[in-house]
Structure 1
Amino acid sequence: MMGQLMWDILRHTAFRWLFISSLISLVGSKIHRIALLFVAYQETQNAVWVSLILGAQFLASAVLGPLLGPLADRYNRRTLMVLSDLARALLVACIPLFAIASMPLLMVIAFLMAVFESVHYSASNSAIPDMVPESALDGANGLMTFVSRFADVAFVALAGVLVANVGPAPAFWIDATSYLIAAVLLALLPPLPGKAGKSNYFAAVAEGLRPLWQNPTLSRTIGTLALAAAFGSVEAALGVVYAVGALKIGVQGFGVLEGLMAGGAILGLFVTMPLIKRLSRETVFLLGLGTWGLFLASTGLFPFPVWAGVAMVALGILNTMFIVPARSIIQLAAPPELRGRIMAAFGATMQSAVLIGTFLAGVLEPRLGVLTVLYFSGIAVFLAVFTVFLWGGIPRLTSEARPG
């Protein structure tokens, strides 16, 4: 019944077009990502180029993302999303035409792709509260999480098979086509005008950053998530080391664990929605994130394949359980005229936290071992959440106090 109610949110026409366009573009993006990294390594036989391309994407998202945030508050968000998808279609099409053999050109394309992805992210996430009523916001965010996880489960493996058997060029053409189709669907949206004035641009950037520490709801939600991501993202960096080195189940086993986590994230939708109805977004967020930390710690404490499988499903469920209400909390706490900038800053903050976690994993694992790092990282996530809980938790906004 709850799943049916969640899918009923697609009756909102504007959100339905956003959902379908996101699904189509993500199919191409998953295939494109595998093909891009494959080309970078195949052409150079040097993992440094793979790291440089990933680094270029991170730089664009983490540094330029907040600087581009005012666009989503000043201009029509539908137009921004359409232009972002058209630009990405053009950039991807350039790769098989003349960029496959040029690593510097691939880096530039990867950088620009991430720039337009940041614009699309802030525009789409800031537009969702205008597409559905507040009672449907958690379900809408849940469905957008479903889109991403479903693409992970269904198309990452397909991408590997496609690239291995027919080469990377068809993968890039599929991605370019997916962006074109997504742009056409987004053009069906009603106008979604920004609600901010045209003041000094860099003053507008600063104005969008200030609520991250001045607004208690935003600062505690984003701060807690960032701390958790800085420690918890070691799991993503050390997953293959954990599977191959600690569990002795090989790369195939690593793939199974990743699939179990993605599947758990989809199942998490059917857990999260009823809990939000019974408790509150703020409570479900902290409960999900704190429990996630304990399960992460358990993977280091009990390094057995069966338990690892159980823990990965639980981690996927709990990931949905904290990320869905977190997005709703941020969207509702952000003033409508600042929502694009705040969502852009949120995305950049999370990107930076993940980079810190990846760095920690690389530094600590050779010294402490993968199991110790996973255990203490999980405990650190739990302690961060517990500290916020002791300080009074996440302030809950009433409808009267909500911006706008």
Structure 2
Amino acid sequence: MGMFVSRLGDSLFTFAIPWIAYKLTQSSMIMGSMYAVSVLPIVLFGPVVGSLVDRWERKKLMIVTDIARALLVALIPILHLLGLLQLWHLYVISFMLTILSLMFDVSIVAIIPSLVPNQLTRANASYQLTNQIAELAGPLLAGALIVSIGGFNALWIDTVSFLGTLIVLILMPSFVTPKSLTGLSQIFKDIGEGFRWLVRSKINLSFSFQAMIGNFGYSAAFGVLMFYLLNTLQLDAQQSSLNYTLLGFGGIIGSLLAVPLENRFRRGVLIPMLLAFGTIGFLFAASSQFWLAPGLAFFAVTVCNVAWNTIVTSVRQETIPSDMIGRVLGFSRVLTRLAMPLGAMTGAALSEWADPRAVFIVAAGAKALEVIIALATPIRKL
């Protein structure tokens, strides 16, 4: 329940920031670069964050990051009220928020095996379901709030929403304190250990490369989604929010389907099936001018991605030692996010200089490559 309140606020932020950027600049390049900057810290600091998650007490780390994120989000409307807000402020705040969110999210994945060691897929599906319900309701709420009180004021609600997880974390018992962090040399040692473990684990490395290619295509499409809705399809705020809402609805379906599908199909068969479904979704967006076509396409892709992520997270938790999960996931996320800034900028360039629907063709091609990876690597043997 705490996560639901917090994620609801996060979805407001996800919708409001590109809206604010568009209203300030009317540029798809700015929107694409904003999305790129928001994922760049994962590439730069992912291994360091993984080391910190393994070395620091995870409950305290999550509390600190929760408070810091609330203060950063509040800074945007404060600067706006003072008449001081500039575009570079949005870049810096997005950059810092990504680092803090990475710490928080990796910590959650790391503590789930301690809470429910024998029901990992069900627990991960429940966690995904909570996130996706919030993402479903968030854009609808964001669209209504932006129309009624404005995008900047909507961010105040996101600030308050961090109390959802903060209260629960304060009440939650502490977990076992990991080994202490002795200095910078220990961080580099941890990074090396995480890298070597990931390289030796062929199944986890295959997942990382697969996600890297898929994230390139997804980022190309998602990074300019708001521009495509507002500029190409010329939708209003409410219509745009309905398209975004379908992303959350697809996530709910994906999280609900993960467990029954895993019970029915072998993982090595299920994973390429899910990815093929996402490929079809992007192809539909490229071929249709219907105003809800982008939302329906992302609905299909999000069903695929959430179910895939639920299953893959369970595999990682089953195969990665608990005291190394932060380091391995931190380095894995470098690979999986490495192509996201390039994808976002590619999508922005295509939207600016060519037919915006070409972005969906690129995304569909990346999804098809994911299917090939699933069939040609140890993933097929799961």
Normalising by structure 1, what TM-score?
Answer: 0.79
The alpha carbon displacement at 1:132 in A equals: 0.9
Structure 2: 5+ residue runs without aligned partners? none
Cα distance change of structure 1 residues 67 and 147 upon mapping to structure 2, 3 Å threshold: same
Partner of residue 385, structure 1: 371
Partner of residue 16, structure 1: none
Whether the 8 Å CA contact 1:211–1:219 is kept in 2: the answer is no
Partner of residue 351, structure 1: 337
Is 2:108 aligned against 1:124? yes
1:156 maps to a residue whose letter is P
Partner of residue 109, structure 1: 93
The alpha carbon displacement at 1:370 in A equals: 4.1
Match of 1:192 among 172, 175, 178: 175
Partner of residue 162, structure 2: 179
Deviations 1:134-178 (A, max 9, x none): 3x2112222222222222221223223324433456434332322
The alpha carbon displacement at 1:84 in A equals: 0.9
The alpha carbon displacement at 1:186 in A equals: 0.9
Match of 1:266 among 252, 262, 265: 252
Aligned residues: 374
Cα distance change of structure 1 residues 114 and 203 upon mapping to structure 2, 3 Å threshold: same
Is 2:123 aligned against 1:140? yes
Partner of residue 305, structure 2: 319
The alpha carbon displacement at 1:194 in A equals: 5.2
The alpha carbon displacement at 1:321 in A equals: 2.4
Higher RCO, 1 or 2 (CA under 8 Å, sep at least 6)? Answer: 2
Deviations 1:201-242 (A, max 9, x none): 211122223333221111011111111221243332454576
Partner of residue 72, structure 1: 53
Q: How does 1:133-172 map to 2 (within 5 A)?
A: 133-134=117-118, 136-168=119-151, 170-172=153-155
Partner of residue 401, structure 1: none
The alpha carbon displacement at 1:339 in A equals: 0.5
Identical positions, percent: 23
Cα distance change of structure 1 residues 259 and 177 upon mapping to structure 2, 3 Å threshold: closer
The alpha carbon displacement at 1:33 in A equals: 4.3
Deviates more, 1:386-395 or 1:304-313: 304-313
Partner of residue 63, structure 2: 82
Deviations 1:35-63 (A, max 9, x none): 55555566x55757766654543333331
1:142 maps to a residue whose letter is A
1:88 maps to a residue whose letter is R
2:94 maps to a residue whose letter is A
Q: How far apart in 1 are the matches of 2:226 and 2:98?
A: 25
Cα distance change of structure 1 residues 106 and 192 upon mapping to structure 2, 3 Å threshold: same
Q: How far apart in 1 are the matches of 2:25 and 2:234?
A: 26
1:131 maps to a residue whose letter is L
Q: How far apart in 2 are the matches of 1:85 and 1:284?
A: 35
Q: How far apart in 2 are the matches of 1:364 and 1:245?
A: 14
Q: How does 1:213-292 map to 2 (within 5 A)?
A: 213-237=199-223, 239=225, 250=235, 254-292=240-278
The alpha carbon displacement at 1:192 in A equals: 2.1
Whether the 8 Å CA contact 2:31–2:224 is kept in 1: the answer is no
Structure 1: 5+ residue runs without aligned partners? 1-19, 397-404
Aligned structure 1 segments of 4 or more residues deviating by more than 6 angstroms:
305-309
SS, match of residue 379 in structure 2: coil
The CA RMSD over aligned residues, in Å, is 3.3
Cα distance change of structure 1 residues 370 and 77 upon mapping to structure 2, 3 Å threshold: same
Q: How far apart in 2 are the matches of 1:39 and 1:242?
A: 15
SS, match of residue 338 in structure 2: helix
Whether the 8 Å CA contact 2:76–2:85 is kept in 1: the answer is no
Whether the 8 Å CA contact 1:297–1:376 is kept in 2: the answer is no
Q: How far apart in 1 are the matches of 2:69 and 2:293?
A: 41
Q: How far apart in 1 are the matches of 2:293 and 2:148?
A: 34
Whether the 8 Å CA contact 2:250–2:303 is kept in 1: the answer is yes
Q: How far apart in 1 are the matches of 2:361 and 2:208?
A: 23
